[in-house]
Amino acid sequence: MNTASYHNNQAIWTELLPGGHHWSGRIQKGTILRFTSLGAQANVSLFCVNAADVLERFNMPDSLKGQHTAYLKASNVLYSDLGRVMASIVHDDHGWNDALCGPSRPEQIEKQFGARTFQDARNDMYQNGLDSLLIEMCKYGLASQDLSAAVNLFSKVAPDENGALSYVSSDNTDQSIELRFEMDCLLFLSAAPHGLDTSPIYQPADIQLSLFKANSLTDSDICRDACSQNQRAFQNTARYYALSNI
C-alpha cells in the first residue's frame, strides 16, 4: 500500500513508547499517527474518547458489527458509540488487530511472566495493559467505568474448534500501522504484552510514534468507501463538526 497517498511523509512529531510503558495525549482531527514496532512481540492496547465530549468513546461491538468483521485491519474504522468515525486504519503491515480480548490484566501478566513491582525494579517493572490505560485515563478525570473494549494493535488471536482464543506469535519488527484521525481524540496507549501472549520472558517491543498531517480525503477513500455503513458514519462525523462550528 502506498502510504504517501495519505500524508506527505513529513513527521511533525515523534516519540518513543518503550515496551511495557504507557502514553496518552490529544490527537487532532486531520492527522495520521504511525505506530512502528521496533521488536518482535509488539502489542499496543489502544482506547480513545472524543476530546470535546469524553462521554463519546470507542465502541468495539459497533465497529465489528457495522463492518462485518471479527478483527480490524486497513480499510476498517473505529466507530464511536454515537455512530461517528473516530479514526481510520489507512495502512497496516500486520493485517490483523485484535478487538476481542481487551487490554492485558494483572493476573494474566503475573501468571505468564511472574511479578516484578516498582519497588523491585523501578521502571523495569512488569506492567499490564489495564492498569496502564487507567493510569493515563485518570490524568483526564476518567476512571475504570469509562473504559470499554480496547484494540490490540499488532496482535492476532485465533479460535480453536471450541471457540477458545489463543495468541498467534509473530515477528512484528519494522511493521507499521497508521491511523488517520477523523475526530479530535484523547488517545490512551499501553505497550504491555497481550493478555494471551505466551512468550517465555517479559520483553514487549518498543513502539515508535510518528505524527503526520493527513492529506484531504479524495473522491475515493480506502476506509470511507469500504462499506455503506462507513460512508454513513463519515457523514455523521462531518455533520457533527459542521454543526459544532456554527
**Could you tell me the pLDDT band of residue 246, with boundaries at 50, 70 and 90?**
low
Q: Which amino acid is it at 151?
A: V
Question: Span 48-75, mean pLDDT?
Answer: 97
Cβ-based burial of 123 (10 A; exposed 0-12, middle 13-18, buried ≥19): exposed
Q: Mean pLDDT across the chain, nearest whole number?
A: 95
Digit-coded pLDDT (tens) for 10-19:
999 999 999 9
**Cα 233 to the chain's mean position, in Å?**
19
* Under 8 Å between Cβ of 82 and 182: no
The rounded Cα 213 to chain-centroid distance in angstroms is 19
| Percent above pLDDT 70 for the chain | 98
For cell 482464543, the residue is 165
Nearest in space to 78 (alpha carbons), one of 33, 35, 32, 47:
47
pLDDT value of residue 5: 79
pLDDT tens readout for residues 138-179: 999 999 999 999 999 999 999 999 999 999 999 999 999 999
Where are the domains positioned within the chain? 17-244
Q: Determine contact, residues 124/208, Cβ cutoff 8 Å.
A: no
Q: Report pLDDT digits (tens) over 83-119.
A: 999 999 999 999 999 999 999 999 999 999 999 988 8
Most distant CA pair in the chain: distance in Å?
56
Q: Provide the Cα torsion 53, 59, 63, 69; round to 10°.
A: 160
- State the pLDDT at residue 66: 97
pLDDT at 2 over 60: no
pLDDT at 120: 86
